[in-house]
Structures are given as structure tokens and as C-alpha cells.
Amino acid sequence: MATSLKRREQPMSREGDQLIVTPLGAGNEVGRSCVYMSFRGKTILFDCGIHPAYSGMAALPYFDEIDPSTIDVLLITHFHLDHAASLPYFLEKTTFKGRVFMTHATKAIYKLLLTDYVKVSKVSVEDMLFDEHDILKSMDKIEVIDFHQTVEVNGIKFWCYTAGHVLGAAMFMVDIAGVRILYTGDYSREEDRHLRAAELPQFSPDICIIESTSGVQLHQSRHIREKRFTDVIHSTVAQGGRVLIPAFALGRAQELLLILDEYWANHPDLHNIPIYYASPLAKKCMAVYQTYILSMNDRIRNQFANSNPFVFKHISALNSIDDFRDVGPSVVMASPGGLQSGFSRQLFDSWCSDKRNACIIPGYMVEGTLAKTIINEPKEVTLMNGLTAPLNMQVHYISFSAHADYAQTSTFLKELMPPNIILVHGEANEMMRLKQKLFTEFPDGNTRIMNPKNCESVEMYFNSEKMAKTIGRLAEKTPDVGDSVSGILVKKGFTYQIMAPDDLHVFSQLSTATVTQRITIPFSGAFGVITHRLGKIFESVESSTDEETGLPALKVHERVTVKQESEKHISLQWSSDPISDMVSDSIVALVLNISREVPKIIVEEEVAVKSEEENGKKVEKVIYALLVSLFGDVKLGENGKLVISVDGNVAHLYKESGDVEGEHEGLKERVRVAYQRIQSAVKPIPLSAE
């Protein structure tokens, strides 16, 4: 097993930023779909299901491998239990505090399906993962998303496409820092009687996490499957038998009911044979489907213009097994589809010993369920009461599973051409066969195909270049090569924009403000001393008189105003920015240093202003001393040049021009660079330093 994700240390970036995908469920198995993904400090969880063959904590994905509090977004593709049934547990019983999204139809059906799941689950109170109260609380936290609507959460962009499969099913495309990941969930590219086919995204993702339920199998055409289905039912009831169709209350059940109702309408000889839709959710389910008619395909919407296709003429709802009068031939569609418990299991136990009866398995069967077991036609089965009974009824597997077969999967991937394919939601053997066959579809070797097990991480690396776009008035003129663009860099999520300060409130939720700072410093000396000292440090010191007080003032570096407030105080005022703050700090330090000098300096006008000649001599002494500290042997030569000797090599420095002569090129260059730096160090700070 891979190292726990919540304890995983962040690796050093190699060849780009690391993206991690880890199945917490549905890795080399069907059931408890849950895929963890992290990239650039963002984490996403796709789906949150349970395993139908297990109960209690064993049915959950491997949540202990992650820290739920770090998940930013949880995306649910559709309402089936193996994709959504651990959501109440995850939202209410873990430290998860992110946001969760699903489509409108999925949210409506999620509540019905999970409430029914709690009621029919034959587990002890200790093994119950959640109760109806937890489901209601989770509903408040679920946000809805429309197909093709783009949502952004903490720099994570995502939107969804129609996935077929069941009402409201979605494929999610996620964009983090320009890297796109498509998670298909369960999908079908074939339009059926009421659902549209899955959409093809308009651009290729960098990673496609795709279901592999059907492996390399190919579906029969829909018309052939429907004929087999109706032929078995017709022949069974004609000889006095009963037909059990175990199906989940929502999803394939509605497709099969449409087929049965149409077939009965076209065969008057069957009108005396009842069809029952046996589920506690029967009426509520049909109300939901009638509500979301406009989410279905053109065929259903055109029918709806005349009459509601989900108001069946030949099918009755059966809310309880106690209401069922088993007195002759009948057709009963009952949940759950796996025959683990509930209506379908009760009817199976009653009918399995009669050879006139038939059971039609219409969907995918998960390993470990009774439905999977009876496909192999064992001689005996174990009933719910623990006794065994002979299996004499006919068992037919006619798949109406709305999962993509190999033809759909390979075509879908060849149209998208993702460079990285991750297979999930498939039995290990089927998945391996699919992986090997897909390699033949992408023989160029540029496509990676992976099938990680549960808790096994797939690591990929992506180079995400940072690019900033200029907007607003900065974008009005195209800069020439070599021009600099000056503005405010604004980062939102993983996008960068450069804009003028005045545009900040237009293109972002930010605004600009100017902070004016003012400080008063005790100073009882002559103001002229400050003027003199500042003139030695800064190139620009402008003297003036304050208009209000008539006292002297200075403008230093065109940024900081120094005023004499009284005989004992001076003030500094400036608009805050890094350079102005630095200038003001140096002025404060200088003033405080003057105040500490003893005895106090009283400067008269003629003493305060020193001659340029004296300043020049001081500069020459400083330059000479610094050169000696660097090179050692420095002598004064003819015409004011300096003679510098190092290890027998001699260089002649002309102080006025800065030129250096000598035979040793290395020494010449060292002297020239050192002299330039010394000159810049001893001069006052120029105004151009900003």
C-alpha cells in the first residue's frame, strides 16, 4: 500500500509541479468510487460511494489515507450508491470543511435514494454509517451546478458535461493552473429511450480518469436487447410464470418501464397480466423524473408535448410487499438490483424454486452480490432465512447497463487524445484486458495508460509557466521591444494580471489608497545644520519656506518634507512607499545623531558652507585609503596618477578619467572596477536612484 496521503511530505519539484491521483475506491474494483487528486496545493475528491457487497465501515472508501480537512472541493457525478452513498458520512462524521457540488437532478434523487438505503439496510445500529438526520444535514451543504456552468473555488475551475448513464449524471472537467483533468464517472455514449448520449468535451484534457466497467466487451444493439427482453417476458407469462426484474429504483428502472409500457400497449393479449414497479420510492421517483423531463432527450420531450411518458398506463406502483397479491402470472420490477435484501430478495426467495418463473438481470452485477452468483446458475441458493432452496427458475442476463462498452470507450479516447489515461471502476481482470487493448489503439508510445489499485498513487509532473496579462489602460498601447511595463501585479487563483493602480477597482475587488505619514522629532539645534548634513547625503535637497508658519522647510529627494515646527521640534511628512520610507528613516537617524553630538554645533553661514576644494581633498583621501586596503602598494605618481603594484605587476590609474594602463589585463580590470565602485560610494545619493 502506498504511503498515507495525509502523511506524505511535499516532494521537491522535478521537471515541473507534481500532480497526484489516488483511487480511495474503485481502483481495480467496481464499487465505492472515490478518487483523490492534488496539484499545486489544491485537492479534489471525485465521488464518494460505498461498496454494495460490504456493510458498515468496510463498505467505505479508504478515507483514513487522507486528511479530509485539506479537501477543497468534492464533486459527485451521479446519484448511484457506489458513487454517492458515503457522502453523508464524509460530510457529517469527518473533518471535511470544503465545498461539495452535484447537478440539480442528482441532488433531488440523492435524498430519496439515501433515505431509502437507510431504511432497507439490514445492518446493526453499530454498523450504520449514518441516519436520516445526517442525510438532511448534508443536503444543506450540497451546492448545485448546471451543465456547462463554470465554477471557481480557491483557484480551482470546473464545469460539467452530460454523461448519459442516468438522469443528472455529469462528467467533470477541472482546470488547475492550466492543467485540465476530465473525470468521466459512469458514462454512456449511446442515446437510449430517455437519456441523451454523453457529450464530447470540446478540447483535450491533460489527464482523463475514465471508467472501465465493461472492459473489452461490446454491447449488442439496443433493438436486439429490447427484443430479447420482451420475448423472455412474453413467453414466461404466457406459460403462467412470473418474471422478476431486480433493478435499482432509479436509473435503468425507468428505461425498462418505458419499454414494458410500450410493449404492453402494442399487445392487447397481455393487458390482463399486471406489471408492478415495486419500490418504496416508486411514486416519489416518478415525480422526480416528471420534473426533469427537459433534461432528457428529444424523444421524451416531444412525447411530453402530448402526454407525460412517465405516467404509465399498464404499470402499477407497489409500495409494500404486503400489498402484493401473488395469484397468477405477473411482471415485477423490484429494488435493489443486487438481490441483497428488500423487495427483490423477498420475491426471489418465493419464486426461485418454480421452473416456470424467470429472473432477468438487466444491469451490471457487483462481485459478492446474489445477482452475480445466480448468473452462473448454481443448483441451490441460500435464502434470507438461512435455509437452502433449489434454483429452478430461468435466469437471463440481458444487459441494459448504461456503461460505455469498448467501442464507445476507444472512440471517445481517440477523439479526445489525452496524453494520460487513468482507468478506474472496473474489475481487475477486465481492466487489465482493456489496458492492453488500448495500448494497441495508441501505438505511438506518447500516451500513458495506468490502472492504479486502491491507495496506489499515480504521480505526474506538469510545467506550468506563469504568464501575466496587461489589462485596462496598460493594454491600450503595445510596448516596443525593450520597453518596461509598470503597474500592479494582481494574482487571483493561478492567473496573473498587470494593471494600472487607477484600474484596480475596475478589474478586481481591490482598491488603492495613499498612506501619508508624519513624525515629529525633538531638535533644538540650528536648522541649517540639518540642511548642511542632508546636502552631503542626498543629491536633491530643496530649501523653501512654509507658507503657513514662515519657518524654513526642506524637500528631500522630492519625497520627504522636513519642516521646523518650533525651536525645539522638527517634523517629517511623506507619502508611504518603500523608497520614501527608506529616505525618511535615514533623515530621522541623521537628526537624532546630530542631537547627541557634544558640544552642540552652532553653525554660522560662512562656517556651514565649506569649499569644494576641501571636499575634494577629503574624497581623494578616502579613495586612496580604500585602494590601499584593497591592493596594498599604492603610490602617487606623476601628473596625479596612482601607481598600484601587486605581485610584481604594475597598473597606472588616472584619477580624473578613471582609465587604467598596464601590461597585466587581470590587474587592470580589477583596478578599474574597484575605482568605479569607490567613486560611486563616496558621492552623494543621486536623485536618479529611484
Classify residue 666 by burial, with Cβ atoms within 10 Å: 0-12, 13-18, 19+. exposed
Q: Which three cell numbers stand for residue 366?
A: 457487483
CB of 590 within 8 A of CB of 582? no
**Considering only CA atoms, which of 119, 122, 103 is closest in space to residue 161?**
103
The strands making up 488-492's β-sheet, listed across from edge to edge, are: 468-470, 495-499, 488-492
Cell 429511450 -> residue = 193
**H helices present in 142-240, as ranges:** 222-238
d(CA 270, CA 233): 11
For residue 544, give the C-alpha cell: 523653501
Whether the CB-CB separation of 135 and 111 falls below 8 Å is answered with yes
Residues noted as catalytic: 403
Dihedral sign for Cα 602, 605, 609, 610, please: negative
**Quick one: 629 exposed, middle or buried, by C-beta within 10 A (0-12, 13-18, 19+)?**
exposed
Q: How many whole angstroms separate alpha carbon 32 and alpha carbon 61?
A: 6
Q: Which residues contact 309 (CB under 8 A, 6 or more apart)?
A: 194, 258, 300, 303
Q: Helix, strand, coil proportions of the chain in percent (round to 5)? A: 35, 25, 40
Can you read off the three cell numbers belonging to residue 110? 440523492
Closest by CA to 237, choosing from 358, 346, 391, 390, is: 358
Q: Using DSSP bridges, classify how beta strands 552-556 and 541-545 pair: parallel, antiparallel or unpaired.
A: antiparallel
- H helices present in 13-73, as ranges: none
> Which H helix or E strand runs over 115?
helix 104-120
Q: How far is CA 409 from the centre of its chain?
A: 25
| CA–CA distance, 423 with 213 (Å, rounded to integer) | 9
Q: Which set of grid coordinates corresponds to residue 658? A: 578613471
b/e per residue, 415-438, with b = 16+ CB within 10 A? Answer: ebebebbbbbbbbeebbbbbbeeb
**3-state helix/strand/coil string of 459-515:** EEEECCCCCEEECHHHHCCCCCCCCCCCCEEEEECCEEEEECHHHHHHHCCCCCCCC
